[in-house]
């Protein structure tokens, strides 16, 4: 049932989707900072989405010798609150322990990932594989509630495994969770087809009948779409994932493309330094390279600079490459050539 911070959110609200090797502390800091841009180009407000999620974390891993390494994925800053810890797994005992840990660490909510299509996750009976085992899914949710105690439990899932299954959605709603986030595709569809927003109206009605918030996920790229989708389909909020890659300023209502190259490079440098400070040698610097396309694109010298940055093996090397970049490669776009 609706409880905790969920019932205090102003609708329609936004959530930053949990993405493995993406939504860590450094990236969330950047998203929050960019979210503070107003339409007039100044800074103001909380910044970022209304709700942050961590990367999804293995409950089994937390119950193993790998706990010491994984625990860093549950780090967060107070300015990110409300923030939800997301876990995955098929062992109710481990889910209970993970939820209790989240409560002890000061998270505002616990979310169980029942939608991940990754083969390794599915093979262990977790993620969207739970769609085929609703009895275990109910057991896991009950365990999460037991561990979370006074903080709310939500579920993120997909429409089904091979085909759309509203019976799966109904089964989850019977467990009286606070919020249900639905990626509006099946596992089989992955992200190869448009999200089935036409089904969100029925899902929203089903959720509201149980006192649960309904959140849609898939193909939303700007705040106008957030409002449009929520009005059209009765959703309470929207979770945005890949849309942040297209526009990391999406939560501000502005487009990242309005920033000149030098400002984008400054943000890239900030991200690189945050990554280095937070992870040090604990994570391969190559993880940062997936972000270069976000910051370095859409101007004439962007491609050449990206090629050089992809050769960097550390934050120090990336900073050196940028410092040696001539102004001619940072000139505002005159045309789309070479971007």
Q: Which residues are catalytic?
A: 116
Residue 335 CB neighbours (<10 A): 8
**Distance between CA atoms of residues 99 and 103, nearest Å:** 6
34, 294 contact by CB (below 8 A)? no
**Distance between CA atoms of residues 154 and 179, nearest Å:** 5
Residue 299 CB neighbours (<10 A): 23
**Distance between CA atoms of residues 84 and 107, nearest Å:** 6
- Which one, of 333, 270, 249, lies nearest residue 297 by Cα? 333
**Distance between CA atoms of residues 146 and 136, nearest Å:** 15
**Distance between CA atoms of residues 109 and 5, nearest Å:** 8
């Amino acid at each position: 049932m609706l409880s905790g911070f969920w019932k205090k959110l102003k609708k329609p609200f936004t959530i930053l989707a949990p993405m493995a090797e993406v939504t860590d502390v450094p990236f969330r800091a950047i998203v929050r900072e960019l979210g503070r841009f107003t339409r007039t180009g100044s800074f103001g407000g909380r910044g970022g989405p209304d709700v942050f999620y961590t990367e999804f974390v293995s409950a089994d891993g937390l119950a193993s010798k790998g706990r010491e390494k994984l625990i860093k994925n549950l780090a967060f800053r107070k300015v990110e609150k409300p923030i939800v810890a997301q876990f995955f797994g098929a062992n109710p005992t481990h889910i209970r322990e993970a939820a209790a840990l989240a409560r002890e660490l000061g998270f505002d909510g616990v979310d169980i990932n029942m939608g991940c299509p990754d083969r390794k996750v599915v093979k262990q009976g977790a993620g969207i594989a739970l769609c085929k085992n609703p009895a275990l899914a109910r057991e896991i949710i009950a365990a999460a509630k037991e561990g979370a105690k006074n903080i709310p439990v939500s579920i993120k899932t997909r429409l089904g495994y091979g085909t759309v299954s509203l019976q799966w959605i109904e089964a989850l709603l019977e467990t009286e969770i606070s919020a249900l986030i639905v990626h509006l595709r099946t596992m089989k569809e992955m992200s190869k087809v448009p999200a089935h927003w036409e089904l969100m109206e029925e899902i929203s009605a089903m959720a509201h009948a149980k006192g649960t918030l309904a959140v849609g996920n898939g193909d939303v790229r700007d705040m106008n779409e957030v409002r449009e989708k929520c009005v059209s389909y009765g959703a309470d909020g929207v979770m945005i994932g890949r849309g942040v890659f297209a526009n990391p300023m999406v939560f501000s209502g502005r487009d990242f493309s309005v920033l000149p190259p030098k400002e984008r490079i400054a943000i890239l440098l900030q991200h690189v330094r945050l990554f280095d400070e937070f992870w040090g040698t604990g994570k391969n610097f190559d993880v940062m390279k997936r972000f270069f396309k976000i910051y370095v694109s859409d101007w004439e010298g962007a491609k050449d600079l990206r090629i050089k940055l992809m050769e960097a093996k550390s934050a120090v090397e990336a900073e050196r490459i940028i410092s040696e970049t001539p102004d001619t490669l940072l000139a505002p776009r005159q045309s789309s050539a070479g971007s």
